[in-house]
């Protein structure tokens, strides 16, 4: 049975959004979707990660970024969130981006058993990010630096879901 879920990436970063710049500003990326959108890629399946990589993306997602001082805007691409093994000490990572490019990712061994279908408390880890442009309704988003990112998944309130569908 599928149910609504909201993925949150929060952190601090510097860069630009359209013609405006931000420096060491807190940001929150919110992706609201349905667990029925989750797909499995068995190409990444092995004994260390028997579930393969798991991905959620599609037209039925609501994808925003809020940057303190600049406000909220919508991404102008289909956001993909994936959890998969990585060949590093961190073991597993959750990434957000436009396939095949990642906007940012958080790596932690705590993602080993995470399947994108359930809530998960905020988890911080090693951060990677892209310096390329990602389109939003307010212009291209470009990070020049990103620090202290955490990832969590929550069940959105019914009121929030109704507001998004208006």
Task: Tell me the C-alpha to C-alpha distance, in Å, between residue 48 and each of 14, 72, 112, 158.
Answer: 36, 39, 9, 37
For residues 6 and 50, what is the distance between their CA atoms, to the nearest angstrom?
A: 24
* pLDDT tens digits, one per residue of 84-138: 766 555 556 767 766 557 888 888 888 877 888 889 999 998 898 989 899 899 9
Closest alpha carbon to 15 in 147, 141, 149, 148: 141
DSSP annotation of 114 reads -
> What are the structure tokens assigned to 138, written together?
């307010």
Inform me whether the pLDDT recorded for 78 exceeds 80. Answer: no
Confidence of residue 49 (pLDDT cuts 50, 70, 90): very low
For residues 146 and 13, what is the distance between their CA atoms, to the nearest angstrom?
A: 4
Q: Omega into 121 within 30° of 0, i.e. cis?
A: no
For residues 72 and 59, what is the distance between their CA atoms, to the nearest angstrom?
A: 20
Inform me whether the pLDDT recorded for 161 exceeds 70. Answer: no
């Amino acid at each position: 049975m599928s149910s609504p879920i909201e993925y949150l990436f929060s952190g601090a970063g510097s860069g630009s959004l359209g013609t405006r710049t931000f420096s060491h500003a807190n940001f929150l990326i919110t992706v609201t979707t349905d667990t029925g959108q989750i797909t499995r890629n068995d190409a990444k399946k092995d004994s260390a990660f028997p579930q393969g990589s798991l991905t959620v993306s599609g037209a039925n997602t609501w994808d925003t970024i809020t940057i303190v001082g600049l406000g909220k805007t919508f991404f102008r691409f289909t956001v993909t969130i994936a959890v998969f093994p990585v060949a590093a000490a961190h073991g597993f990572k959750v990434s957000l981006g436009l396939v095949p490019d990642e906007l940012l990712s958080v790596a932690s061994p705590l993602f080993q058993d995470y399947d994108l279908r359930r809530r998960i408390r905020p988890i911080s880890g090693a951060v990677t990010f892209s310096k390329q442009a990602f389109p939003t309704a307010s212009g291209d988003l470009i990070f020049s630096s990103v620090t202290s990112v955490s990832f969590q998944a929550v069940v959105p309130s019914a009121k929030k879901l109704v507001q998004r569908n208006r």
